[in-house]
Chains A and B, each alone.
Chain A
Amino acid sequence: NAGVTQTPKFQVLKTGQSMTLQCAQDMNHNSMYWYRQDPGMGLRLIYYSASEGTTDKGEVPNGYNVSRLNKREFSLRLESAAPSQTSVYFCASFKDRGLYEQYFGPGTRLTVT
Chain B
Amino acid sequence: GENVEQHPSTLSVQEGDSAVIKCTYSDSASNYFPWYKQELGKGPQLIIDIRSNVGEKKDQRIAVTLNKTAKHFSLHITETQPEDSAVYFCAAGSSYKLIFGSGTRLLVRP
- Using CB atoms and an 8 Å cutoff, list the residues of chain A in contact with chain B: 4, 31, 40-45, 48, 50, 56, 58-59, 90, 92, 97-99, 102-107
Contact = CB atoms under 8 A, between A and B. Distances in A.
Contact of B93 (A40, A90, A99): A99
Interface in B63-106: 89, 91, 93-103
B95 A42 contact: no
6 contacts: A41-B102, A42-B103, A48-B97, A99-B93, A99-B98, A107-B41
B96 A40 contact: no
A98 B99 CA distance: 12
B24 to A, nearest CB: 14
**Chain B interface SS verdict (over half):** strand
A102 B47 CA distance: 11
Given A50-B96, A99-B98, A107-B43, 18 more contacts: A4-B43, A40-B9, A40-B102, A40-B103, A41-B102, A42-B100, A42-B101, A44-B100, A45-B98, A92-B43, A97-B96, A98-B95, A98-B96, A98-B98, A99-B94, A102-B34, A105-B43, A106-B43
Contacts, number: 56
B16 interface: no
Given A42-B103, A43-B89, A102-B34, A90 B96 contact: no
Nearest to B44: A104
A105 B96 CA distance: 18
B102 A48 contact: no
A64 B17 CA distance: 44
Contacts of A98: 93, 95-98
Which 8 pairs, one residue from A and one from B, show the smallest C-beta to C-beta distance?
A: A104-B43, A42-B100, A98-B96, A43-B100, A99-B32, A42-B102, A104-B44, A106-B43
